[in-house]
Structure 1
Amino acid sequence: MLSIAFMFNVVICFFITIGYLVFAKKKGNSLRPFFIGVLTFLISQIFLRMPIIQAVFENSQIPLNFPLLYSIILCFSAGIFEEIGRRISFVSLLKDKRTWVDGITFGIGHASLEAILFVGLNSLVISIALLSPDIGESLGVTREMISIIKVSNNSFEVLLSGLERIFAGGLHIALSLFILYGVNKSLKYILPLAILIHGLSNLGAILCMPNILMAEGFLLVVFILSIIFIIKSKKLFAINKDVNEKVLI
Structure 2
Amino acid sequence: MIHLADPGALETGRFAFAVMALGAVALIATSLVVARRLAGTLAPWAWGGVTFVLSQLVRAPFLALVTGAVTGGAQPDAMSPAWIVLVTAASLSAGIFEEGSRALILATAGRRIRGTGPGVAYGLGHGATEALLLVLTPAIAAIVLVGGILDGSLTVSLPAETAAALDQAATLFATQTVGISLIAILERVLAMALHVILALLVLRIVERGGGRSAIMRRLALPIAIHA
Which TM-score applies when normalising by structure 2?
0.73
Counterpart in 2 of 1:104? 120
Counterpart in 2 of 1:18? 29
Distance 2:27 2:193 in 1: 13
Deviation, 1:91, is 0.7
Stretches (4+) displaced over 6 A:
none
Distance 1:134 1:79 in 2: 43
For structure 1, list consecutive stretches of 5 or more residues without a partner in the other structure.
Answer: 200-249
> What percentage of residue pairs aligned between the two structures are identical?
26
Query: What amino acid sits opposite 1:173 in the alignment?
Result: V
Query: What amino acid sits opposite 2:49 in the alignment?
Result: V
Tell me: CA distance 1:13–1:190, structure 2 relative to 1, closer, same or farther (3 Å).
farther
Deviation, 1:152, is 3.7
- Of 5, 8, 14, which aligns to 1:3? 14
Query: What amino acid sits opposite 2:17 in the alignment?
Result: F
Do structure 1's residue 71 and structure 2's residue 87 form an aligned pair?
yes
**8 Å CA contact retained: 1:129, 1:135:** no
Query: What amino acid sits opposite 2:171 in the alignment?
Result: I
Deviation, 1:130, is 4.3
User: How far does the alpha carbon of each residue in 1:71-120 deviate from its partner, in whole angstroms, 9 at most, with x for none?
Assistant: 22211111000101001111101222211111111111111121111121
Do structure 1's residue 184 and structure 2's residue 207 form an aligned pair?
yes
Distance 2:151 2:130 in 1: 29
- Number of equivalent positions: 197
Distance 2:206 2:134 in 1: 29
User: How far does the alpha carbon of each residue in 1:13-47 deviate from its partner, in whole angstroms, 9 at most, with x for none?
Assistant: 223212432454467712111111111111111x1
Distance 1:23 1:72 in 2: 34
Tell me: CA distance 1:69–1:8, structure 2 relative to 1, closer, same or farther (3 Å).
same
- Of 93, 96, 99, which aligns to 1:80? 96
Deviation, 1:129, is 4.5
- Of 38, 42, 52, which aligns to 2:53? 42
Counterpart in 2 of 1:171? 194
**8 Å CA contact retained: 1:179, 1:191:** yes
Query: What amino acid sits opposite 1:108 in the alignment?
Result: L
Q: Which has the larger radius of gyration?
A: 2
Do structure 1's residue 90 and structure 2's residue 112 form an aligned pair?
no
For structure 2, list consecutive stretches of 5 or more residues without a partner in the other structure.
Answer: 1-11, 156-161
